[in-house]
C-alpha cells in the first residue's frame, strides 16, 4: 500500500494536449476514480501512471520513488483493461500464472499463488477451465486475479466493467471495492459512468479538457459542485440562469425569469457580487411539490411524466425553462396535462455557480 502522486504532468499527441499540467495525490489504500467524458484525458493519465505513456513534462511518484521513467514491470502496479486481454488458448489458471512465469517464480509457488488469487476473486477450483467456458463476469474476475497474483501495491483499472450487462456491473462494483480494500491496495479506476464512481469511490477527480475540474468525495462532488460543468456531469441537474440581487455569508439571492431563488455558493475561491450573471444547479430530487415556510417557490405546469414504480419523474414548464422533478415512493400521481403546480426547494439544495 503506497501513495501515488502526479506533479504537473503534461502529455501531448501532436497538436492535441491530452494532459495540461495535472497534479494530484492519491492516498495509500484509497480507491480513487478518474471521471470524465471521452477525450478528457483520464485514460492518458492512467497510462502515464502505469508507465505505458511517458509524460512530456512533470513526474509520477509511487510513495517516495520517482517512477516517471521506470518501465511498467518495475512499478509494482498491475493494470486491468476494458477488454479482458485473456488468452483463449490457455486455461484460467495458465492465464493467471503468466505474469509469475515471466518473473521465473518456482512452479510450486505459482500453483499456490494462482489458487490464492482464484480465492480472492471467488472462483476457487476454476483453474482448469478454458476461457470460453467462462461468462463475461467470470472473465473479468480472471483478469483481476491475473493482476492480483503478482502482489502489486497499486491496482489500475481502465473502464473494467464497460462490457458487462447492468446487473453484472452492479455485482462487480462491490467485488472490485472488496478486493482493493481486503488486499490493502491503492486503486485508480477510470470511468465515464457517474453512478459507478459515486457508488465505489473514496474520492473522485472530475477531468475536463486535460485538467482537473474538481476533486472530492462522492458526496462533495454531488452536493458541492464548484462549476456548472461538474454539476451537469455528475448525475442529473436543472440549470437556471439568473443575476445576483444580493449576497450574505455564503448564500446569494438570484433573480431568475421565474422569480427570486436563493442558494449556496460552493466555490470557496469565488464570491459573487450584485449584478453578476450566475447559474443555479438544482437536482431533480431537490424540487418538491410541497414546501415549507421560507423555501424557494416558483410556478409551473406539468407537461410530461414517467412512472417508474419506486419513483416518478415530472417535467414541469416554468418561466425559467423546463424543470425535472423526481419524487420517491409516490402516492399521489399528477396528470401531465398542463396542471399548474408550485415547485419548492430548500435554499441549502440550490447551488449558485459562475455562469
Integer Cα distance of 321 and 340 in angstroms: 15
Among residues 284, 278, 184, 269, the alpha carbon closest in space to that of 234 is found at 284
**Are residues 254 and 209 both part of a single domain?**
no
**Are residues 116 and 264 both part of a single domain?**
no
pLDDT of the residue at 140: 86
- Residue 231 lies inside a defined structural domain of this protein: no
With beta carbons less than 8 A apart as the criterion, state whether 45 and 19 touch: yes
**Are residues 35 and 124 both part of a single domain?**
yes
Q: Is the pLDDT of residue 83 over 90?
A: no
- Residue 108 lies inside a defined structural domain of this protein: yes
Domain holding 344: CATH number? 2.40.50.140
| Range of lowest pLDDT (201-205, 219-223, 274-278, 336-340) | 336-340
**Are residues 56 and 204 both part of a single domain?**
yes
Q: Is the pLDDT of residue 353 over 90?
A: yes
Percent of the chain with pLDDT over 70: 100
- Residue 282 lies inside a defined structural domain of this protein: yes
Give per-residue pLDDT as tens, 97-137: 988 888 889 999 999 999 999 998 889 999 999 998 998 88
pLDDT of the residue at 167: 82
pLDDT of the residue at 320: 94
pLDDT of the residue at 27: 96
Give per-residue pLDDT as tens, 250-288: 999 999 999 999 999 999 999 999 999 999 999 999 999
Give per-residue pLDDT as tens, 140-179: 889 989 988 988 999 999 998 887 788 888 888 988 898 8
Domain-ending residue, one of 191, 223, 255: 223
Give per-residue pLDDT as tens, 293-336: 889 999 999 999 999 999 999 999 999 999 999 999 888 888 89
Number of domains the chain is built from: 2
- Residue 43 lies inside a defined structural domain of this protein: yes
**Are residues 290 and 328 both part of a single domain?**
yes
Give per-residue pLDDT as tens, 34-82: 999 999 999 999 999 999 999 999 999 999 999 999 999 889 899 998 7
Q: What is the DSSP string of 15-81?
A: TEEEEEEEEEEE-TT-EEEEE-STTSSHHHHHHHHHTSS--SEEEEEETTEE-TTS-GGGTTEEEE-
- Residue 230 lies inside a defined structural domain of this protein: no
Give per-residue pLDDT as tens, 220-248: 999 999 999 999 999 899 999 999 999 99
Percent of the chain with pLDDT over 90: 76
**Are residues 245 and 211 both part of a single domain?**
no
- Residue 228 lies inside a defined structural domain of this protein: no
- Residue 207 lies inside a defined structural domain of this protein: yes
**Are residues 328 and 182 both part of a single domain?**
no
pLDDT, average across residues 196-201: 95
pTM of the model: 0.89
- Residue 229 lies inside a defined structural domain of this protein: no
pLDDT of the residue at 160: 87
pLDDT of the residue at 261: 98
Q: Please name the residue that has the C-alpha cell 503478482.
A: 150
Domain boundaries, position 252: 236-354
Amino acid at each position: 500500500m503506497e501513495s501515488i502522486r502526479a506533479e504537473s504532468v503534461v502529455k501531448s499527441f501532436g497538436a492535441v494536449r491530452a494532459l495540461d499540467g495535472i497534479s494530484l495525490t492519491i492516498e495509500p489504500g484509497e480507491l480513487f476514480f478518474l471521471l470524465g467524458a471521452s477525450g478528457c484525458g483520464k485514460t492518458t493519465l492512467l497510462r502515464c501512471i502505469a508507465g505505458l505513456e511517458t509524460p512530456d513534462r512533470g513526474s509520477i511518484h509511487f510513495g517516495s520513488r520517482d517512477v516517471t521513467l521506470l518501465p511498467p514491470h518495475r512499478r509494482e502496479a498491475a493494470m486491468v483493461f476494458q477488454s479482458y486481454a485473456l488468452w483463449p488458448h490457455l486455461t484460467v489458471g495458465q492465464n493467471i500464472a503468466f505474469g509469475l512465469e515471466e518473473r521465473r517464480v518456482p512452479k510450486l509457488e505459482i500453483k499456490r499463488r494462482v489458487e490464492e488469487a482464484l480465492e480472492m476473486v471467488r472462483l476457487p477450483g476454476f483453474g482448469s477451465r478454458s476461457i470460453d467456458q467462462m461468462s463475461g463476469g467470470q472473465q473479468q474476475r480472471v483478469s483481476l486475479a491475473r493482476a492480483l497474483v503478482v502482489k502489486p501495491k497499486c491496482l489500475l483499472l481502465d473502464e473494467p466493467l464497460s462490457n458487462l450487462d447492468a446487473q453484472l456491473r452492479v455485482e462487480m462494483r462491490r467485488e472490485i471495492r472488496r478486493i482493493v480494500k481486503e488486499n490493502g491496495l491503492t486503486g485508480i479506476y477510470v470511468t465515464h459512468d457517474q453512478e459507478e464512481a459515486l457508488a465505489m469511490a473514496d474520492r473522485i477527480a472530475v477531468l475536463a479538457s486535460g485538467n482537473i475540474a474538481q476533486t472530492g468525495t462522492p458526496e462533495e462532488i454531488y452536493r458541492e459542485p464548484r462549476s456548472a460543468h461538474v454539476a451537469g456531469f455528475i448525475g442529473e441537474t436543472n440549470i437556471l440562469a439568473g443575476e445576483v440581487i444580493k449576497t450574505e455569508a455564503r448564500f446569494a439571492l438570484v433573480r431568475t425569469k421565474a422569480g427570486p431563488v436563493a442558494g449556496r455558493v460552493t466555490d470557496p475561491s469565488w464570491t459573487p457580487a450584485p449584478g453578476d450573471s450566475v447559474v443555479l444547479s438544482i437536482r431533480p430530487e431537490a424540487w418538491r411539490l410541497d414546501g415549507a415556510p421560507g423555501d424557494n417557490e416558483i410556478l409551473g405546469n406539468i407537461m410530461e411524466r414517467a412512472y417508474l414504480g419506486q419513483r416518478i419523474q415530472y417535467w414541469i414548464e416554468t418561466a425559467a425553462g423546463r424543470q425535472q422533478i423526481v419524487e420517491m415512493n409516490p402516492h399521489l400521481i399528477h396528470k401531465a396535462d398542463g396542471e399548474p403546480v408550485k415547485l419548492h426547494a430548500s435554499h441549502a439544495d440550490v447551488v449558485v455557480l459562475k455562469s
